[in-house]
Amino acid sequence: MATGRTHRPATRSRGIPEATVARLPLYLRALTALSERSVPTVSSEELAAAAGVNSAKLRKDFSYLGSYGTRGVGYDVEYLVYQISRELGLTQDWPVVIVGIGNLGAALANYGGFASRGFRVAALIDADPAMAGKPVAGIPVQHSDSLEKIIQENGVSIGVIATPAGAAQPVCDRLVAAGVTSILNFAPTVLTVPDGVDVRKVDLSIELQILAFHEQRKAGEEAHTDGAGPAAATRAGSDDSADQGPDGDVPAVMPA
């Protein structure tokens, strides 16, 4: 069976922009749902709506894959599923280790979407001796003393860090030294890695803070409208135009 150690995705060598790469999983999720409903073809407008992007951006993204669809017919769903899966490296086996089997690590281990998307949880690792041997999601937890050996034996190139913040960097350093070149970090800290190592950070608190910003902004707009009346609201809308972005609907200071 092929492993992540010997096969790497071709996105960088083919010059696919990172923003496009970030949207490919959204397209794949929408296409997979269509495939499960036995839908044979889909238009760019329908697929874009399902993925939450505009159709022009979708067509541009697909042009990087060499897929342009058929006028009047649309895109072949099954072929696009295969094409995007291949581009993302999901047509092969990617062994993954999860380090830190607390509540979050255990939840990740129990996530059923890994296997269906080309990822195999090769090992669960924790520094607590009391955790050693305990099964989580049917996989026995192994002590962190064996981390390097586990990575070598399983050909692991992707590591998931779900440790407390203070332990994340030392764990990251050991993963990288053992040959891991891609890390998904759930710890609330910024990791330092050498060139050639990719890190993706998932920080739920930051996402909630961004949502809080939007909620506060919406509440302020509602209060302003309710208290000032329609005429003042109209004037406010006119005054706000200086802060709008180039499309006229998104303030220039709004985070991406």
Residues 14 and 81: their CA atoms lie apart, in Å, by 19
Look at residue 139 and tell me whether its pLDDT is greater than 90: yes
Look at residue 22 and tell me whether its pLDDT is greater than 50: yes
Quote the pLDDT of residue 227.
Answer: 64
Q: Is 102 annotated as a binding residue?
A: yes
Q: Considering only residues 161 and 225, tell me which one the structure prediction assigns the higher pLDDT.
A: 161
Q: Is 150 annotated as a binding residue?
A: no
Residue range 166-206, pLDDT digits in tens: 999 999 999 999 999 999 999 999 999 999 999 999 988 88
- Confidence class of residue 130 from pLDDT cuts 50, 70 and 90? very high
Q: Is 154 annotated as a binding residue?
A: no
Q: C-alpha angle 38/119/43, rounded to 5°?
A: 30
Quote the pLDDT of residue 15.
Answer: 80
Could you tell me what percent of the chain has a pLDDT over 70? 82
Q: Is 103 annotated as a binding residue?
A: yes
Quote the pLDDT of residue 73.
Answer: 84
Least confident window among 6-20, 85-99, 109-123: 6-20
DSSP assignment, residue 102?
S
Least confident window among 9-13, 28-32, 135-139, 142-146: 9-13
- Confidence class of residue 69 from pLDDT cuts 50, 70 and 90? confident
Tokens of 124: 């669960």
